[in-house]
Amino acid sequence: MTKKVDVVVIGAGPGGMTAALYASRANLSVVMIDRGIYGGQMNNTATIENYPGYSSILGPDLGEKMYAGATQFGAEYEYGNVTGIEDLGATKIVHTDDGDYETKAVILATGAEHRKVGIPGEEEYAGRGVSYCAVCDGAFFKDRDLVVIGGGDSAIEEGLYLTQLAKSVTVIHRRDQLRAQKIIQKRAFANDKMHFIWNGLVQSVEGDGKEVTGVTYKDKFSGEETTIPAAGVFIYVGIKPMTDAFAGLGVLDEHGWVITNDKMETSVPGIFAIGDVRQTSLRQITTAVGDGGLAGQGVFNYIQSLGDEAIEA
């Protein structure tokens, strides 16, 4: 069975739900497809303190509120794993494991995932001291000792951000020098709160069953293991866009990020992309919501233009 709708939104995180809200409010039929529960990464966020309108709100609670808004004008949510998209001009076919959708416009909102180190304690203490976002979680660790794992731009920039809040920030890097830009390195080395452990291979995140208490690392050359105390561990070993299903569209850069203009349009008419799936400098709920609003309005304008072309013909 092939289901026909005006707009398919692939991903039901904050950006996808906002896009669905705007598109459905413009009287378009909309379906959001996600292989997980709506809300995306918000469901793994204990407390959100930087979303306008709330001094503090649980991530899953914000997801529920956004979902109620996204579906109030008829947008639907369906579980599914998208395997590919066919561009047939004015029509797109979205393939999933459970069937196909024929649509006029598609919004890619699948997001990105942080690469994991894959060490004991990383999953166990996620959201309880293990974080992948200093802007999101740094405020929870005021005047505490923190560890940053990584040595690239993101690791050092986020480490510098954390020094505004933390008592100390120790960077553990597996090499003997950073990979971050020289200007960023210069700022880091000049910061009295930042400390560095070189040639350190992180072995595990330690905890007391409730929260993080430290990090154990091994010296690459001596093999000696050391545990340092820490209330939080911020991991920056790369981010991977979730775009494998879109590889054949010609809308990705060499690293797999979707390329768009400032209207969230890709190079394929009728296909838009929003949120963390784009190459962007800030990945937050607020930025995803902003992208979603632009794309939701954009699909309406695009579908209207299809009608104009038919009239002109």
Contact between 311 and 298 under an 8 Å Cβ cutoff? The reply is no
Question: Cα–Cα distance between 191 and 162 in angstroms, integer?
Answer: 11
Backbone angles phi, psi at 199, to 5 degrees: 55, 35
Q: Are strands 82-87 and 47-48 parallel, antiparallel or unpaired?
A: unpaired
The stretches of the chain forming alpha helices (DSSP H) are 14-25, 59-71, 134-137, 153-162, 182-189, 285-312
Q: Which is the catalytic residue, given 61, 87, 100, 133?
A: 133
Question: Cα–Cα distance between 49 and 304 in angstroms, integer?
Answer: 38
Q: Which residue has the tokens 């590919």?
A: 84
The closest of 145, 140, 138 to 167, measured between CA atoms, is 145
Instruction: Let me know if 136 is a catalytic residue.
Output: yes
Instruction: Let me know if 176 is a catalytic residue.
Output: no
- Residues 6 or more apart whose CB falls under 8 angstroms from that of 54 comprise 48, 62
Q: Which is the catalytic residue, given 6, 136, 276, 291?
A: 136
Question: Cα–Cα distance between 252 and 196 in angstroms, integer?
Answer: 36
Question: Cα–Cα distance between 76 and 33 in angstroms, integer?
Answer: 9
Q: Which is the catalytic residue, given 6, 34, 137, 291?
A: 137
Q: Are strands 57-58 and 200-207 parallel, antiparallel or unpaired?
A: unpaired
SS3 of 100-149: EEEEEEEEECCCEEECCCCCCCCCCCECCCEECCHHHHHHHHCCCEEEEE
Question: Cα–Cα distance between 102 and 15 in angstroms, integer?
Answer: 22
Contact between 238 and 115 under an 8 Å Cβ cutoff? The reply is yes
Neighbours of 111 (CB within 10 A): 24
Q: Give catalytic residue positions.
A: 133, 136-137
